[in-house]
Structure 1
């Protein structure tokens, strides 16, 4: 019988399981909530979905074999309290369906962090201890997971009713038993795992080991406590390159969990923290009063995440502005956006805690795990992986300080020049010394209409604030906290940089005891408000304010209007690509669709290639400033409108 994907809700699988509704997407297909007519209970069913009917037969057979292997491996761990139980694997119309327990009220760690914010270090350690217990049990039985990541960790209510008390590891779809001679199922690229979460030795083709699972666990815990992965970049290729050649971003929120993360993220698997040592370290964070070995995590919440407790002095009081449109569909290129740290252009910024870094002149010897990788290795990997697109992501911090600590006449100092504290949503113009953007301390001015003088646009906008208990804390931690607060916002745009405006000591109270976090165009103005300050119906004067997942109504004359994604629209923004500096705007408009189809293919976002195709937008002003950014969209091949949250 020919293999084919199944239809939707209401269908009966294997004569027994009635599909109720789709719960989510897995690495190989969809996960459904189903009703077991025989046992009269609810279960979760994973089905394989082939988006491309022309997928080669060998690849189809491999994915089917992976599903059977997942069921077999997970079933071998069905007695473990932190592994999703697999009940059965059934055949239906030539495809295997995995029957699993349904964890009512569960949410995966990725979604929880996106919805509620990063976890507290102790709470993150509790989750890590549970996942470690599951991994260690699998390792003892010769089973490696190979795809540990936030999306594969479920948090569900426990028996006491605690909403996230139960921790479950799921999706053993690419797991392997290396010592049994079992067939290893690999992707066409030869890399098994998810970019940004897999260990460097796996990225370079070395065999899977338990240490590789622990590295992925370290990336996952980093995401849990920091709100992003340590190696997340604009594309999967860039993420893989970062895993191999770059050190993880310096954590800002990790606290006592920081040393644990450093040990797990060692490039050399031989120097990486072992499971036994990791268990002891995490146990001390979860239950610091206990001296004995801690073998099973408690089911209660333990340390509450920050969004479950009242605000504390020094906690973040502002977050990145929300944006319109649905969340991005899961897929290989669904990332959090460009967040690569760059050294500040202004050398004085180092004194105010640029990107959370300390003054190198005051630092002691650099630990081995923080030393730069060998340049030959960097070059070799760069050649092997290709050129990585890097749009935006650099950041800048400023604070005007008098050398003698004298009184200031404005909340942020005389050089910045603002007489009143900034407010969220304020559009600003920035005049840089000598006309060089991000060089020196700019003089800022607020543009109430967000249009700028003579239609030249505005340079950026205030998207949030971060609080502090003292002016010194604002100076030391404000920039790094602003980088974090603007991360998601910046990840939705093509070429922007953050700006942390730190209050001077005498203006600390007047500024509301907080640092203003701005987002500015990296190459020039942004031509209007950003994020949720853009009303529907707004006509884009240029592509600079366009953001990922914006829904557009295309009008004659290369005009685009921002419209709600819940209704009908012509195109949806998926991402960005960049063309060479020698490409003219006229030339760009002739090749931009093909460039987007190559660099931001709609298929990677779950869109059916037989129905959808890549589109693009280019902007005259953005081209003149040298950004050379192409906005990549998805649209219907027949020219019709899209609707709702396709696909």
Structure 2
């Protein structure tokens, strides 16, 4: 028996769960739809409901081949729902979980699709604010593009803005997913279109490398890396592509490309990377000591270290099924906290096959190196001793130390 959503829709089957609600396969007057039903505690927030209704016109007006269109917004009792086009496929996070990283051609094609969708949204005055692999859907029924990539569509427009009400977050709070947050959001500035470009460049880096450039460890440490560290180079990709990523990860929002420029530039690079295999790099590790030092005191107090920022959106709520499909709500770190660590390059990727620091293999390699160094030192000392004895005792043919032909001064 389906669940009625308003007077026109029926939710029949759960497709997935996220930090803000549950996505259902539903049925409407025009056929199958996807229904994102926001959590009850959000639906009971009258301020949020009012904001939801205000955003209706802008969200319904977003029409683009690379955007999952919102067909309707439903406010009915305790139900608050977005009714969207149904995409027959999977999300980009599921693809990454399966393949770990993509070939550069497919990664660039997918990100170019998303950039085109963002360009349309930004032109309409809408900022997504939560661009990440969970919010990119791959249409498995669409035509294959470069590198065998399925068409990519960006979904969940408006959800971050709806949730980010003044009463819920105030000016001292951050709402977002730590790995993809632009530095200006961490510093408490209002989000503009450039935050989507920064997040999308982070997604591109992740598709190529298998990990995000500033992620890993406590969410507070991740936030500070966005502000204080530059991105570590990815070996094996053309310099033109790397410079594009660096520009879109610039700390200054004005230095980043616009979405339309990014999409066009990425498509120009497709012939250059055609046929390239996925990169062969490993994710760098964060040492516990480094984490303790990097996490701002305000965000690490009383909190255990977490991987990838698996923090519920609302206190008391359960984390989402995917620990990356989540928002973090925390205090904005102060300038002294953001400037408290060493500035430099973010954690550099390890060469493929290199042991992880702290692993049994790493300890064994370190032990062998120490033994080798110790043996070398012993050999050097022995060689010095033999040389000194030889210099002071002669050549063994009856010469004496006083013989000027066979003696040498020895430094005290």
TM bracket, shorter-chain basis: 0.5 to 0.7
C-alpha contact 2:214 2:225 (8 A) present in aligned 1: yes
Distance in 2 between the 1:267 and 1:67 partners? 31
Structure 1: runs of 5 or more not aligned = 1-8, 289-301, 308-314, 320-327, 337-376, 386-392, 396-476, 491-495, 500-517, 525-647
Structure 1 residues 127, 269: closer, same or farther in 2, change over 3 A? same
Name the larger-Rg structure. 2
Structure 1 residues 381, 201: closer, same or farther in 2, change over 3 A? same
Aligned mate of 2:131, from 135, 148, 155? 148
Matched residue, 1:216: 199
Structure 1 residues 254, 174: closer, same or farther in 2, change over 3 A? farther
Matched residue, 1:26: 18
- 1:237-636 to 2 correspondence within 5 Å? 237-252=220-235, 254-256=237-239, 257-275=241-259, 277-287=261-271, 306=277, 316=280, 331-332=311-312, 379-381=336-338, 479-482=350-353, 497=358, 518=361
Structure ranking higher on relative contact order (CA contacts 8 Å, 6+ apart): 2
Matched residue, 1:46: 36
Distance in 2 between the 1:125 and 1:317 partners? 18
Structure 1 residues 198, 283: closer, same or farther in 2, change over 3 A? same
| Cα displacement string for residues 369-398 of structure 1 (whole angstroms, at most 9, x for unaligned residues) | xxxxxxxx9854166x9xxxxxxx999xxx
Structure 2: runs of 5 or more not aligned = 284-307, 313-318, 325-333, 368-412
- Compare the two structures and name the one with the higher helix fraction: 2
C-alpha contact 1:109 1:150 (8 A) present in aligned 2: yes
Structure 1 residues 222, 16: closer, same or farther in 2, change over 3 A? same
Distance in 2 between the 1:394 and 1:520 partners? 20
Q: Secondary structure at the match of 1:251?
A: coil
The two structures have a TM-score, normalised by structure 1, of 0.43
Distance in 2 between the 1:185 and 1:219 partners? 30
Aligned mate of 1:125, from 108, 115, 124? 108
Aligned mate of 1:138, from 121, 124, 128? 121
Aligned mate of 2:177, from 184, 187, 194? 194
C-alpha contact 1:113 1:227 (8 A) present in aligned 2: yes
Structure 1 residues 112, 64: closer, same or farther in 2, change over 3 A? farther
- Aligned-pair distance for 1:304? 6.9
Q: Secondary structure at the match of 1:192?
A: strand
RMSD of the TM alignment (CA)? 4.2
C-alpha contact 1:86 1:98 (8 A) present in aligned 2: yes
Check if 1:81 corresponds to 2:65.
yes
C-alpha contact 2:177 2:309 (8 A) present in aligned 1: no
- Aligned-pair distance for 1:43? 1.0
- Aligned-pair distance for 1:101? 0.9
C-alpha contact 2:135 2:156 (8 A) present in aligned 1: yes
The count of residues paired between Structure 1 and Structure 2 equals 319
C-alpha contact 2:281 2:352 (8 A) present in aligned 1: no
Distance in 2 between the 1:98 and 1:276 partners? 27
